[in-house]
Structure 1
């Protein structure tokens, strides 16, 4: 993995001469300051300016920020500063800081960034996530680690089996809390938090703030400082968004035509389901395009391989589902295509946020079938904008939405059937006079050959027999 590119994408910065002064003013010093400078990180991002100083003072943080805003450095640098001050002594099977992420990809990227920020500081890190060897993870944390980055499911298993103890964990970070909520991790998160040190310092970051996240913040945070770097559920100004109208059966052809454009250099295609993502990928390959796919049914190694191939340009198209793609931060994605609209309008914001990053332009195109119109309206409400239609492949009106056309089609179909029946023998009887399920034509039956109804005067579907008449 290209650690330099990953870090630049997550912390996102343009180099300038006052880099060290900017982070120094936030309280970052010594080896960490040198590491940020060596990694090419520039003037602190807005989320870093707001979040680092209060955390250096020991305050809890509630941050509303999108992936790519620089929040990884915003919560990591204060934690790393304090761990360095503690020294290197750790107890076995413990971690000093725990960072929870909803997806494996995001966890990997967080650890990559922390390694770069802590270069030369002798900070130990470990990853705990599903889809890879459990034994290797247990072995890695056995002597104790400074920073543990984990997904809630696998971490819960290790704590339950007593392979990890959280009593010494003094820093807890919950990244992308809204996605943890969507994935059903909130109860695990609460149990994990209860197992950490009572005097811990906590940071909670979320791209949106549904009621459940607000309640979680009340439960886990003590008089937090709230930081917000962009209006809730809005999209980046650098992204040009548009809609292409196409029926579901037309979308494959429309997507292939779009991808023939040389300007679509690095493209993420979003499908609503895992099965749909696989189907889109197969169709793209049949149409002559090289594509990779990531979703929840893929192993961690397969997902990481697909992501690496996309990042290094081996493939220019990455097909993904919402959950698998959350937290993916690849520099230079030129286009996002929504093959299907998501079930939750908020996911649209996260999807298109993969492009238009770090000051670059980005393009997001959504293919919309008439059946998805309600979802499109929900998206437009949450982004507070009307999406322009740049192409319409629907042709004639949809008969489901046009009663007049539906009536005309039904009437035409009836007339066609009448004409066909007139050409058939036996007065239009399509079975040539035979009984529907086999048997001879009616004209060939002998008189009296019909089988009598067995049951006489009994009720046809069960019930009691009528009383017998007296002899």
Structure 2
């Protein structure tokens, strides 16, 4: 460090980042280290493994990218064919693309080579890029496993390993691939594992891969950013389309991600939005990588205001200035809620997260509230203003019945309270009994017997006055 310039002792210079890397980081806007960066960068520069527990949007990428680049730059540019000095494993293609962009930005002018290995794009071009060897390889576990098996990638020279969003890789079934890939790396590697939550399976994975790690936890696991204003709007499934359209008519919702639970649901929401006069793009697992990247680029440059996505894309969307996140459906896994709403309120900015909840999703809402350790306030609309009714959610949950999605009557169609069954019963009174009225099988109860006795046969003669 240059002691003649006190400014050089500020920011990332104080953490041990120097030279061209410090200059590139400053030019890229990395001036004030975030808590996870301040706690983990010095330990990694010392050669220690890292176990990081942090919410999305906390600055994890720079937390592992800067120390890795610092050490690679010190080694020089010589690389062996088909090898990678550093390997970053991530669960989704979008996240892989964003991490490579950050590495390129931070290493500008340092002659660092990077490569992406992920599904949905040409395998030939990836193999060709890896042939001379690379400094940093960012990959999804599935495609990388295939290339290692076929001998197109050699990991024995990999001395830095990062597992980002480890809990998401667990959810997607990649953990066994992760273990195999980690075993193929250099025995003396340095490892960093980052996860927003720490379920028992991830704890076991960390114990098997990390050596005396420095644990960095910048927020209790499962918590959400304080800058995000969260609320829930009670709406039946068949009402959600209208509620969402009313919300999006407000120009204040300038950049919005709408999360759906399934791929088909995401497509349906997108079609409905377009029919209602809104331009929207959609990304999910059935879309090609080129289509997903095109949609994400349109959302990033502002040409598309609304992006509809499934949970698989929640971790990979890092777009500055997202004003709102709308949960059209509550997720199956409560932890996914944290990752969904983490797309807004990033880097200290304010954000709004609104959840549309059908009474049938009450158990999922309770699971989310247990994860985030707070009760979501009920709002009337996207402004977040509280519903003035006393205990509105308790009343709504008790009064509203879930929509009837079965029986061939059309999704979301419910019976009117005054509608009666053909068998004389009330809506919801079990299945109609077979046969003619009054017939029953031996040993069965005789339903509505009192009613038949009372109303069956001739009317009783009127009594004489």
Task: Name the TM-score, length of structure 1 as normaliser.
Answer: 0.81
Check whether the contact 1:18–1:43 (CA below 8 A) recurs between aligned residues. Answer: no
Q: Is the 8 A contact 1:26 1:49 kept in 2?
A: yes
TM-aligned CA distance change 1:43 to 1:396, over 3 Å = closer
In structure 2, what is the equivalent of residue 128 of structure 1?
A: 117
**2:220 pairs with 221, 231, 241, which one?**
231
Question: Paired residue for 2:170?
Answer: 181
Q: 2: distance between equivalents of 1:109 and 1:281?
A: 24
- Residues of 1 paired with 2:141 and 2:416: CA distance? 55
Point out where structure 1 has 5 or more consecutive residues left out of the alignment.
Answer: 1-16, 402-407, 419-428, 430-471
Aligned runs of 1:251-266 on 2, under 5 Å? 251-266=240-255
**Which one of 147, 152, 157 corresponds to residue 136 of structure 2?**
147
Report the 3-state secondary structure (helix = DSSP H, G, I; strand = E; otherwise coil) of the residue aligned with 1:389.
Answer: coil
The answer (yes or no) to whether the contact 1:67–1:327 under 8 Å persists in 2 is: no
Query: Structure 1 residues 246 and 163 mapped into 2: Cα distance closer, same or farther (>3 Å)?
Result: same
Aligned to 2:323: 334
- The alignment partner of 1:143 has SS state of coil
User: Using the alignment, how far apart are the partners of 2:421 and 2:339 within structure 1?
Assistant: 49
CA distance in 2, matches of 1:395, 1:67: 31
- Report the Cα offset of residue 334 of structure 1: 0.7
Q: Does 1:45 align with 2:52?
A: no
Q: Which residue pairs with 1:34 in the alignment?
A: 23
In the alignment, what sits opposite 1:387?
Answer: 376
Matched residue, 1:454: none
1:295 aligned to 2:284?
yes
Contact 2:53 2:218 in 1 (8 A): yes
1:393-438 deviation digits (Å, cap 9, x = unpaired) = 979933569xxxxxx97885159979xxxxxxxxxx9xxxxxxxxx
Q: Distance in 2 between matches of 1:334 and 1:235?
A: 16
Regions of 4+ moved over 4 Å: 17-20, 392-396, 408-412, 414-418
Structure 1 distance, partners of 2:422, 2:214, is 72
1:51-450 counterparts in 2 under 5 A? 51-391=40-380, 397-399=399-401, 413=420
1:383, distance to aligned residue in structure 2 (A): 1.1
> What whole-Å deviation, never above 9, does each CA across 1:219-269 have from its counterpart, x for those lacking one?
000010100111110111111111111111111111101111111111000
Q: Distance in 2 between matches of 1:375 and 1:245?
A: 13
Does the aligned pair in 2 maintain the 1:93–1:141 contact within 8 Å? Answer: yes
Equivalent pair of 1:19/1:43 in contact (CA under 8 Å): no
Deviation at 1:21, TM superposition (A): 2.6
CA distance in 2, matches of 1:145, 1:412: 69
Change over 3 Å in CA distance of 1:259–1:409 after alignment to 2: closer
Aligned mates of 2:422, 2:165 — CA distance in 1 = 59
Aligned residues: 398
* Displacement after TM superposition at 1:71 (Å): 1.2
**Displacement of 1:89 after TM fit?**
1.1
CA distance in 2, matches of 1:399, 1:115: 53
Change (3 A) 1:18 1:105: farther
Deviations 1:420-471 (A, max 9, x none): xxxxxxxxx9xxxxxxxxxxxxxxxxxxxxxxxxxxxxxxxxxxxxxxxxxx
Change (3 A) 1:288 1:57: same
Asked if structure 2 preserves the Cα contact closer than 8 Å seen for 1:20 and 1:33, the reply is no
- Counterpart of 1:22? 11
Larger Rg: 1
Partner of 2:456: none
Query: What CA RMSD, in Å, does the superposition of the two structures yield over aligned residues?
Result: 2.3
Provide the secondary structure at the position in 2 that maps to 1:390.
coil
- SS in structure 2 opposite 1:344? coil
Alpha-carbon shift at residue 66 of structure 1 (Å):
2.2
**Consecutive unaligned residues in structure 2, runs of 5 or more:** 1-5, 381-391, 404-414, 426-435, 437-465
Aligned to 1:440: none
